[in-house]
Amino acid sequence: MGSFDVHRVNFFSPELLSIQCMVVENESQKLAVGRSNASIEIWDVSYKPHIDRTLICDSSVEGLAWYNGRLFSCSANGVVTEHDLHSLSPLYNKTVTSGSCWCIAIHKDSGRLAAGTQDGYINIFEITSDGLTYDRLMDKQEGKIICISWDSSGEWLVTGSINALRIYSRRSGHALHKLPTGQTETIVSSIAVTNDFTIISADSRGKLCFWDGNKGTNIANYQALKSIALTVCLDESQTKVYVSGVDPLIVCYELISMKSDMSVECNKWVRSVQLVAHTVEVRSLVHFKGKLFSGGIDGYLSMSSYPPKHMVKYPPLMSSAISLASDARYVLMLHLSHLDVWYLGDKHKYENKLSKLVTIKYSKNDYVRCSAISPDGTWVVYSTEEKLKIFSLIMDSVTCEPMIKKTGIQPVDCDVSTQLAFSSDSKYLWFATKHENTLVCLEMSHKFDLSTKYCIDTNPYFKDLIHLLEVSKWNKYVVAADRNSNIVVFNEGKHYCTLPKYHCSPTSMKIHPTTENLVIAYANRNVVEFSLSRREYTDFSEQLFLNPPSELINRSFPINCITFDASRNDSIIFSDDNTICVLTKDKPNSKDPEKKIKKLESKPIQFSLKIIQNYEHLVFFDFLNREELVAVEVNPCSLVEKLPAVYKKKLFGMT
């Protein structure tokens, strides 16, 4: 890799979205994360954790639950919603009795869902293949139900509210035990139930309490935190319990066997390790396969484990928020309520400053799923949950001011999109539709109406929504990929070839502008190179796949960007949240005498890897031209500044 000028764009400051709740499904290894903007992120945690897809809700997300690959949520507007993970839309809403719904819990063996409401009612639903069927209503209790959980048999329900826990019988609908927390007012924030019916509760006093569910008695109380405890979770073996809250310290209690004075063995919960994964309030904890996931007000998804001690924090960012118009030197930035187009100064014209050209505003209720800008900077496109919107961006010849204009008439094929991509000459726009499952190519024109050039039915090739889309130079090849690792190449609107299926989903891909080789990075950070002209993997790809460099594989973040040095064909550049990896193919020595003798033997292709770690929260990295690079990063301090004033703390050595 040679020497380049790098535009470090570090003023991109996306909105802070705090984590409200989380739940994991063991079979699919998917983690559902509810955010403060009423969105649900589905994270794939089977390899390197990454966002698989994002769902949008009509109201707030107060609780989440999985059932055999189906996702349910509850909200403050008093409904339980099942979500369609394919169309990314709600399937239906089921209204609960009396007020807001604050918590839900599912017993998988019996297929029943319990929902706790504002006025103290517990709604029981039976989960069927068609939806939710109302089963019964439990006895009303005093105050709202804050948390709820089933026991392992499905015969008992445990609820947490103000000053008490209650144990309900599912068959009778009555509360058999009321477990008071004490004389002072106490809010039971979270509960967990073990297989032997030990109930573990976390409350506003910062205490972790253990209860015998069979007898309805208190076993032990521990002052786990200095302030309010908000969340508690068990590990898979049910021998460790984790608690955290307003005091962001994560404390672990472990179940050990010990002998009493009478030489009788007994089990006791003992304070064990403690973790510091966040600096502000923690609202949710989930334990999965030896890893503890935590999230809260700061928006970071933290993954920690012990022993050995290891922690990774995934910021609330998406690489798809940035799009580059290389010919026009524009950068498009996606925000919750608007799009910004910035101009990158040209050193040859003595322009050293960045300048904002235009801002396209939209309602915060219009969730923008994807956006793109054409390489020549004359088209800006984004898709909401309802419509694909296309704008022309032209500089006024008189005032030299940018003018933005929405296109009036669009072809009928312009459906809601999940991915957008322009051709290198800006003449064609490719997009994958959300509802019709088609891949559409629009012919762009400022003089005439937009017209559809290709409309490809993708149902025979994909079983899921397209999440990656790449167009080769001169619009020759179009490559699309879904989360099921189906990668298909199209040529002139027709199927060209299908790549071999891999066991994990791709996170990024790019076509080399000169060699037209397709480079794909998967969720486990394995990298392959596929020759589109020969329709096969390259020799370099096979060697790289069999002997991957440990510096490339053993990193905690998935690869989110791939780019190439256009001046040479033997270099591939990868980037993740904080690292740039430059992979260079080593050329064989032409003076080697053995090569002339042993012509039939294939010499292993070697490569070198260079690691650059000068970035933090790198969301975009690509070439602007042969001499310049663009790196868009988010300053962690900008996320801290967006915290409510009550959570801001002065730390020594930090501004």
What distances in angstroms separate CA 47 from CA 25, 50, 205, 293, 308, one per listed residue? 15, 9, 38, 14, 18
pLDDT at 591: 45
CA–CA gap between residue 46 and residue 507 (Å, rounded): 13
In a domain, 122, yes or no: yes
Q: Give the residue numbers spanning the domain of 387.
A: 367-499
**Residues 285 and 154 placed together within one structural domain of the fold:** yes
Q: Domain check: are 252 and 104 in the same one?
A: yes
Residue 323 within any structural domain of the chain:
no
pLDDT in tens, 592-629: 444 433 333 444 557 788 999 888 899 999 999 888 99
Question: What is the Cα–Cα distance from 95 to 164, expressed in whole angstroms?
Answer: 26
Cα torsion angle, 226, 229, 235, 239, sign: positive
Identify whether residues 173 and 254 lie together within a single domain. Answer: yes
| Consecutive H or E run containing 641 | helix 636-641
Residue 7 buriedness (CB in 10 A; 0-12 / 13-18 / 19+): middle
Domain boundary pick from 314, 330, 349: 314
The per-residue pLDDT for 116 is: 96
Same domain assignment for residues 250 and 394? no
Question: Of 329, 330, 333, which is closest to residue 319 (Cα–Cα)?
Answer: 333
Cα–Cα distance measured from residue 318 to residue 506, given in angstroms and rounded to the nearest whole number: 15
609 is a domain residue: no
What DSSP line would sit under 541-610, residue for residue?
HHHHHHS--HHHHS-SSPP-EEEE-TT-SSEEEEE-SS-EEEEEEEPPPTT-HHHHH--SSPPPPEEEEE
pLDDT at 447: 79
Within this chain, do residues 23 and 149 fall inside the same structural domain, yes or no?
Answer: yes
pLDDT in tens, 263-320: 677 889 999 999 999 999 999 999 999 999 999 999 999 999 988 889 999 999 887 8
488, two tokens: 């298909």
Residue pair 532/516 in contact (Cβ under 8 Å)? The answer is yes
Residue 60 within a domain: yes
Residue 37: enclosing H or E segment and its boundaries?
none
Strand order of the β-sheet with 207-212 is 188-193, 198-203, 207-212, 217-223
Residue 218 and residue 87 share a domain: yes
Residue 303 lies in a domain: yes
The label of the residue with tokens 């009321």 reads: 178
Cα gap 472→478, rounded to integer Å: 6
> Which residues face 233 on adjacent strands?
242
DSSP secondary-structure letter at 151?
-
d(CA 434, CA 417): 5
Q: What is the pLDDT of residue 346?
A: 82
How far, in Å, CA of 13 to CA of 635, rounded?
8
* Residue 343 domain flag: no
Q: What share of residues in the chain are helix, strand, coil (percent, to 5)?
A: 5, 50, 45
Whole-angstrom distance, CA of residue 101 vs CA of residue 135: 17
Co-location of 241 and 376 in the same domain: no
Give 82's Cβ-side CA count (13 Å radius). Answer: 19
* Predicted pLDDT at 589: 46
3-state SS assignment for residue 139? coil
Number of domains in the chain: 2
626 token code pair: 């042969």
Residue 602 lies in a domain: no
With respect to residue 359, please indicate whether it lies within any of the assigned structural domains. Answer: no
Same domain, 298 and 168: yes
Burial bucket for residue 296 (CB in 10 Å: 0-12, 13-18, 19+): buried
CB atoms within 10 A of CB 334: 20
Looking at the fold, whether 283 and 373 belong to one and the same domain comes out as: no
Comparing CA positions, the residue from 649, 631, 617 lying closest to residue 314 is 617
Strands 5-9 and 628-633: parallel
Q: Which segments of the chain have a pLDDT < 70?
A: 1-2, 260-263, 348, 350-352, 409, 587-605, 648-655
Residue 417's CATH number: 2.130.10.10
Give the domain-ending residue among 314, 344, 375. 314
Q: Are residues 150 and 218 in the same domain?
A: yes
Asked if residue 293 and residue 167 are part of one domain, the reply reads: yes
Among 290, 314, 338, the domain-final residue is 314
Q: Are residues 278 and 166 in the same domain?
A: yes
- Whether residue 65 contacts residue 24, with contact meaning beta carbons closer than 8 Å, is answered with no
- CB atoms < 10 A from the CB of 312, how many? 18
Nearest to 461 by CA among 494, 429, 507: 494
